[in-house]
Chain A
Amino acid sequence: MELDIVNLFLIQSLTIGTVYLIATLGEVLSERAGVVNLGLEGLMEVGATVAIIVALMTENAWIGLLAAFLAAAALAAIHAFTTVSLKLNQFASGLAIYIFGVGIGVTFRGYARDIILGPQALLKIPKIKAALASIRIPGISNIPIIGSLFSLDAMVYFGIFLGLLLWFIFYKTRIGLNIRSVGENPAAADAAGVNVFRLRYITTIIGGGLAGVAGGYLIIKIATQIAGETVILGRGWIAIALVIFAFWDPLRAIIGAYLFGALEASFYWLQGYFGGATVVMLKAVPHISAIIILTIMSIEALRKRIGAPEALGKPYSRE
């Protein structure tokens, strides 16, 4: 049975949106505790590389995604070390992680395709992609619009679950309160007995790991080629912008991520209507939109005196 166009568009939007969502939520977690991680793009690249290599070697997409989490988390741990323990410039450290991650991610992926895995391994790609195939429910999946919500793969549901979970943790649990207080006023949190350093380490590492998962999901589910150039193509940076769009709220992050998913999905459809060269200009639309959204959000933040966690980007030392 064929899906109608509206359903197909919604499925694509939610799928691409999930890449943004998981990465954005990771950054929300990290920034809520006060650590900006500009290395997201690099962590996603490393996640993509590790995910595809491990998934092809083990013939299991889930082990690939788990490995992507661990690899990106390890790299994020360096960021935690420089910013939390050594109290150094968070922007510089994040940019360094970004450049290192992209460089090493692309290098290793090319090497893996040509040397470790070899051409036979590429034949296994359909098999690992199958693990992330849509779960269709006969009958319901074909209902217009609503049907699309019942034709998604497990990671899309995981993304939504993660958003709800983070919201619940932030606003309904003790540890969430601690994370937020560490991001707003670390000295007060410290005085109240919260271990600021440990909490920042944990959130930065888990947040970075999630970026790795987003990259892994991207390469297994969406990317059409696995080696040569970068596959993330600025999505990590858009995810960082989405954190601001979401005002550091996990539920708003879900909306923002799906909005950008829909924007990207719409290109595949618009390609048919715009000829040749014009369509490539459309690819700049997410970036232009991100700049406009950032500007609107910044004006709003100035007007309403709301915004980033108070201690965001500032190292904490007990002096």
Chain B
Amino acid sequence: MALHIPGTKYYVKVERRLEVPRMIPALVSIVSAIAGILLGGIIFLAVGIDPMEAYTRIGRVVTNPAFLGNAIEVSIPIMFTSLALILPFRMAFYNIGGEGQFEIGAIVAMIPVIWYWAGFELPTFIYLPFMALLAFVIAGLWALIPAFLRAKWKVNEILVTLMMNFISLQIIWYLVSPGGPWNEANPAFRERYLAYLKEQGVSIIPGFKGTPVVPEVARMPTIPGLGINAGLVLAIVIAVVLWFISSKTIIGYEVRIVGESEKAAQYAGINYLRLVLLVMFISGGLAGLGGFVNLTADLLKLSPEISTPGYGYTGIIAAWLSRLNPIAALIVSVFFGILTQSAYIMQQELRISHYVSVGFEGLIFILLVIGDFFVYYRVRLMKKV
């Protein structure tokens, strides 16, 4: 296809690439992210805020070690929700349910905490591993529902995973609302929890929507010297394992074949049902682990607020931006952590909703999608001879 530029001797030539050079997708990702931030300035202009005011907040987060630490802390849940999507997205299974799987992980990780306050205690060293295991397995099983429906009856996985996000959030509302079984005012916790609160010099807030606090024994430790929670180490280990699985194992190979063509995979004798169940179990499990980390390191109480930052949705864009490379996903997550942290500062100082970061994420996503055009097509400016 050739498009003549009127009034000049030049024309634009567009042709499909036969082979995509390795650097192009990464380049498009980086350009989209930067262009998204710059174009996002229009959002600020539209609400009467000088874009420079907003950018200086982002700059402050990047340059101030304390803020940067916070931003990395915020990026840890995004690392989990984006890493979770790498295998399913590689096989063109669009798991949009990271948010719900994340929440399920946090919910079930809470079970030993509830036992604790009800007077049933486990050996100290058991708490974190047990909670992590619960989060991984139950969130993994939760993610098998859309996987099974898709493999068995071709039920659209995007819609099912998305619907399930609303269900998991409603489960949290049920558990923690006043009168709910896990609400901090539940009489079952009274003896121990009230004594603990008295020691801390705080009291139960009537009508509070949330559980009792996670006790010291079940909290995520911080990395010595960095002040960042140990979930970061876990995320890095997972990224390396995922890189290994996707590039060095049969599963990774099968995932790639299915991603290229489901039909071809069928001819190659790949069992789609088995593969999608395995991949989604891992995917849901990883997102669930993120929920466990978020609960034990940051939130310390389960409440509907867990859904406010929308980590599951940010993970989708982070995974897409990383081009499904697990190591790149870690870096991209930090980028979104910085953006989210900046948005919270802007909310306080510039009186703008923290949803502005969601707007930014969407804008970057749109630009990334459009940028894909340059991945598939070669666009050249040519001179007429």
Contact = CB atoms under 8 A, between A and B. Distances in A.
Asked if A and B bind, the verdict is: yes
Nearest to A227: B353
B348 to A, nearest CB: 14
Interface string B351-366: 1110111111111011
B316 A95 contact: yes
A42 interface: yes
Interface in A271-319: 275-278, 280-281, 283-284, 287-288, 290-291, 294-295, 298-299, 301-302
B167 interface: yes
A299 B153 contact: yes
Q: Is the interface of A mostly helix, strand, loop or mixed?
A: helix
Interface residues of B, number: 54
B115 interface: no
B320 A277 contact: no
Nearest to A280: B173
B166 A99 contact: no
A302 B158 contact: no
B366 A115 contact: no
A89 B372 contact: yes
Interface in A69-104: 78, 81-82, 86, 88-89, 91-93, 95-104
Contacts of B96: 95
B313 interface: yes
A63 interface: no
Nearest to A91: B94
A284 B360 contact: no
A270 B183 CA distance: 22
Interface stretch (A133-141, A168-176, A233-241, A254-262): A233-241
A52 interface: no
B155 A287 contact: no
Contacts, number: 161
B162 A102 contact: no
B206 interface: no
Contact of A104 (B43, B159, B163): B43
Nearest to B154: A298
Interface stretch (A18-26, A105-113, A203-211, A212-220): A105-113
B156 interface: yes
B368 A96 contact: yes
A38 interface: yes
Contacts of B170: 280-281, 283-284, 287
B370 A276 contact: no
Interface in B129-178: 149, 153-156, 158-160, 162-164, 166-167, 170-171, 173-175, 177-178
A244 interface: yes
Given A38-B158, A276-B179, A277-B179, A101 B153 contact: no
19 contacts: A88-B369, A92-B369, A96-B366, A98-B362, A99-B316, A99-B317, A103-B362, A108-B47, A110-B355, A233-B166, A237-B163, A277-B173, A277-B174, A277-B183, A281-B173, A283-B166, A283-B173, A294-B156, A298-B149
